[in-house]
């Protein structure tokens, strides 16, 4: 691998885990490297880049609303013109929903940001990854098929193309919007199918690209963090005992290291709790589709299981 300067990008970098990942990259990467902080809050981006002006890498701000259908492609093309490609991309942005939001009212934008936004980033940036590149989608510990009724697994498992993934997500979204999802087997917590859809997108693309990516040491992966202490989770639970985004971002998975990163990723992946994984995790040597669980405290506590979230939601407001 060469020592040429590297170009990294984080979506949703204005707060929470995205900001922590940005700060981590700015610190770990070195002189000559560039890290793009992206988001939809121009003032916030300006403040963040100014605050990181003394970092190892240069930090630049770029407006990137992932709900904009054209912006991922525009930005990826612009970075390719500027730098001839990209080395590290963290697809992290998420639309926040709270317990008082009506899933039927928010699901369109939710799927647009979290799911179609993700597949647009995958389509735009994966072909522009340089040798040794990493494209990491931040999903969730809730993003595995074990949280979905078995009758629904086929909707997300073994899909051939990103278009198939988008179609499955759109079908779920439509069912949430018209309320039929909640009369059937879908979980009430929209986060679960959405995160499973993100993992499915990663697995699908990684599988398609595997033969070309392996010799180039290109890795496309989903990371599945457990509960973190951010305003998103604070809206739902007492997360005072959960790790901060900074701690979660200091994961033992060294995505940005030049050497042996894939080997270490595999070791990290092998440390995951197999009981809690399902076909969202493929065994070695399918490195491009490994789903990595961030370390230690990543098991969802008893009182926060999807089943209980489901019941809580149903108790609060009948959705049928």
Ligand X SMILES: NC(=O)c1ccc[n+]([C@@H]2O[C@H](COP(=O)([O-])OP(=O)(O)OC[C@H]3O[C@@H](n4cnc5c(N)ncnc54)[C@H](OP(=O)(O)O)[C@@H]3O)[C@@H](O)[C@H]2O)c1
Q: Can you say whether the dihedral through the CA atoms of 244, 14, 134, 289 is positive or negative?
A: positive
Shortest Cβ 158–ligand X spacing (Å): 24
**Closest to ligand X by CB, 90 or 132:** 90
For ligand X, the closer of residues 47 and 216 by Cβ is 47
Position of minimal CB gap to ligand X = 16
Strands of the sheet containing 291-293, edge to edge, are: 58-63, 34-39, 7-10, 86-91, 129-138, 219-224, 291-293
Q: How far is the CB of 270 from ligand X (least distance, A)?
A: 21
CB neighbours of residue 299 within 10 Å? 14
Q: Which is nearer to ligand X, 66 or 218 (CB)?
A: 66
| Alpha-carbon torsion (292, 298, 302, 304), positive or negative | negative
Q: How far apart are CA 244 and CA 240, in angstroms?
A: 9
- Contacts of 135 by beta carbon, 8 Å cutoff, 6+ apart: 89, 91, 121, 122, 125, 126, 129, 218, 219, 220, 221
What residues make contact with ligand X under the rule CB under 6 A?
A: 11-12, 14-18, 39-41, 64-67, 92-96, 113, 138, 140, 225, 227-228, 230-233, 245
CB nearer to ligand X: give 130 or 195: 195
Please give the Cα distance from 15 to 20 (Å, whole number). Answer: 8
Task: Identify which of residues 92 and 132 has a Cβ nearer to ligand X in the complex.
Answer: 92
Beta carbon of residue 120, minimum distance to ligand X (angstroms, whole number): 11
Closest approach, Cβ 23 to ligand X, in A, equals 13
CB 114 → ligand X: shortest distance, Å? 7
- Using alpha carbons only, give the angle 87, 55, 259 rounded to the nearest 5 degrees: 40
């Amino acid at each position: 691998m060469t020592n040429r300067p590297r170009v990294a990008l984080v979506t949703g970098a204005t707060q929470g885990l995205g900001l922590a990942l940005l700060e981590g990259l700015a610190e770990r990467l070195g002189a000559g490297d560039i890290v793009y902080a992206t988001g939809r809050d121009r003032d916030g981006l300006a403040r963040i880049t100014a605050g990181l002006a003394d970092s190892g890498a240069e930090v630049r701000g770029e407006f990137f609303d992932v709900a904009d259908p054209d912006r991922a492609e525009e930005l990826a093309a612009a970075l390719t013109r500027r730098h001839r490609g990209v080395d590290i991309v963290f697809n992290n942005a998420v639309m926040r929903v709270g317990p008082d939001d009506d899933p039927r009212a928010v699901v369109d934008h939710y799927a647009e940001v979290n799911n179609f936004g993700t597949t647009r980033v995958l389509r735009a940036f994966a072909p522009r990854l340089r040798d040794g590149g990493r494209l990491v989608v931040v999903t969730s510990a809730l993003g595995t098929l074990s949280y979905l009724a078995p009758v629904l697994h086929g909707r997300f498992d073994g899909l051939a193309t990103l278009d198939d993934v988008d179609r499955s997500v759109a079908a779920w979204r439509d069912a949430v919007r018209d309320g039929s999802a909640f009369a059937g087997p879908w979980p009430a917590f929209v986060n679960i199918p959405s995160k499973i859809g993100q993992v499915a997108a990663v697995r699908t693309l990684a599988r398609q690209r595997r033969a070309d990516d392996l010799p180039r040491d290109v890795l496309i992966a989903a990371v599945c963090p457990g509960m973190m202490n951010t305003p998103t989770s604070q809206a739902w639970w007492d997360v005072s005992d959960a790790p901060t985004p900074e701690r979660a971002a200091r994961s033992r998975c060294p995505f940005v290291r030049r050497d042996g990163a894939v080997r270490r990723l595999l070791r990290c992946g092998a440390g995951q709790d197999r009981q809690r994984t399902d076909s969202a995790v493929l065994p070695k040597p399918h490195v491009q589709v490994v789903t990595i669980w961030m370390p230690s405290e990543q098991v969802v506590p008893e009182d926060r299981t999807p089943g209980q979230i489901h019941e809580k939601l149903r108790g609060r407001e009948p959705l049928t």
